[in-house]
Amino acid sequence: MSLEPQNTDNQEIDLSQISKKIGSYVDAVLMSIFKGILFIKKNLVILIGLFVLGAGLGYYLDT
């Protein structure tokens, strides 16, 4: 039994594995976008309130 790694001349790329990895990456990105939209939809009132508060405070501090 040899301790050296065996060198194989098989340099082929399995395209099905690559396409599965790319597909899972695209699915993860789309799921993140979907979760972001749901977060904004769920917390829209709070986000608008914080935006108005920040704009008002910024205007007050500038004057």
Structure confidence by residue, pLDDT tens digits, 12-27:
778 888 899 999 999 9
Is residue 28 predicted with pLDDT exceeding 80?
yes
Residue 5: inside a domain, yes or no? no
Is residue 38 predicted with pLDDT exceeding 90?
yes
Number of domains forming the structure of the chain: 1
> d(Cα 63, Cα 51) in Å, to the nearest integer?
19
Residue 11: inside a domain, yes or no? no
Residue 14: inside a domain, yes or no? no
Residue 15: inside a domain, yes or no? no
Looking at residue 15, its pLDDT comes to 85
Mean pLDDT of 38-48: 96
Residue 41: inside a domain, yes or no? yes
Q: Which domain holds residue 49?
A: 20-62
User: Which residue has better confidence, 51 or 2?
Assistant: 51
Looking at residue 7, its pLDDT comes to 57
| Residues, the chain | 63
- CA geometry: angle 54, 60, 61, nearest 5 deg: 90
